[in-house]
With several copies, the nearest count.
Chain A
Amino acid sequence: MAKGMVVFDEERCKGCELCISVCPIKILSLHETNLNSKGYRPASVTDPQRCTGCGSCGMICPDGAISVYREEQGGHQNEE
């Protein structure tokens, strides 16, 4: 099971790709086809299993479109 999990609020996303650029394991990308109601292609996870829950994507999202969760036990804590 994945250590981490990211949840996107697609309606808030503006497709800026900042989250994509900072994900250390490169599992984020803009949705290929979907458009949200503002006309943006929202970001999404391509490989949810590999998410470490490091929080970087949430940290850099300017639009509050990402929530990040992590397994309670174990794993090193990147977020302070």
Chain B
Amino acid sequence: MAVHKLIIAGFGGQGVMLIGQMIAYAGMLEGKEVTWMPAYGPEMRGGTANCTVIVSDKKISSPIVTEATAVVVMNLPSLHKFEKLVKPGGLLFINSSLVHEDTDRDDVEVCRIDANEIAVRLQNDKVSNMVILGAVVSKTGIVKMESIEKVMEKLFTGNKSKTLPLNKKALTAWEA
């Protein structure tokens, strides 16, 4: 597909913004056109937060997404708000550690990932977003996994470089 339009939604602190940025960055490294756009409320914590990522072979005009090729929901309110935006036949990723409800959509491919539990299994609560990222990248093919790894290497430098192996590992953990 020439255009990938992704919505990633959750609450502040879950790292949804970061994984969106990483996909956009990876897309750029692959020479694609990309946009990343966040949305959040005025509260510092606990409000909902989401971002939109578009990766395309041609120039992107609108950075907003009304029909997503894939949607990722990291908490329940996000499921309610965004499930309807997946286009028929598109992908809906659900963090099943926190979202126990089911989707109403039967015309989309649903992919449930126990991100938090997998993260705990990897001994680091905080990589649940990377677990999801891995799933999204492989299932959608929005960018190449190598590009994501390259991005990781650019982002996790200095102090953070020691978390690199774990983060890389998290990318494939969803499959296990």
Closest A residue to B13 using CB positions: A39
A-B contact count (CB 8 A): 5
B165 is an interface residue with CB less than 8 A from chain A = no
Number of A residues with CB within 8 Å of any CB on chain B: 3
Shortest CB-to-CB span from A32 to chain B, Å, is 14
5 closest Cβ pairs, A-B complex: A38-B46, A39-B98, A39-B75, A39-B11, A14-B46
**Interface magnitude class on chain B:** under 10
Shortest CB-to-CB span from B111 to chain A, Å, is 22
Sample 5 A-B pairs with CB under 8 A, ordered by A number. Answer: A14-B46, A38-B46, A39-B11, A39-B75, A39-B98
Closest B residue to A35 using CB positions: B98
Mark A residues whose CB is within 8 Å of B: 14, 38-39
Shortest CB-to-CB span from A8 to chain B, Å, is 19
Inter-chain CA distance A38–B46, complex, in Å, is 8
Inter-chain CA distance A14–B11, complex, in Å, is 14
Shortest CB-to-CB span from B169 to chain A, Å, is 25
**A14 neighbours in B (Cβ, 8 Å):** 46
**A39 neighbours in B (Cβ, 8 Å):** 11, 75, 98
Inter-chain CA distance A38–B48, complex, in Å, is 11
Closest B residue to A37 using CB positions: B76
**B75 neighbours in A (Cβ, 8 Å):** 39
**B98 neighbours in A (Cβ, 8 Å):** 39
Inter-chain CA distance A14–B75, complex, in Å, is 17
Residue interface bits B1-24, CB-to-A below 8 A is 1, else 0: 000000000010000000000000
Inter-chain CA distance A38–B43, complex, in Å, is 14
Residues facing A in B35-77 (CB within 8 A) are: 46, 75
Shortest CB-to-CB span from A55 to chain B, Å, is 27
Closest A residue to B11 using CB positions: A39
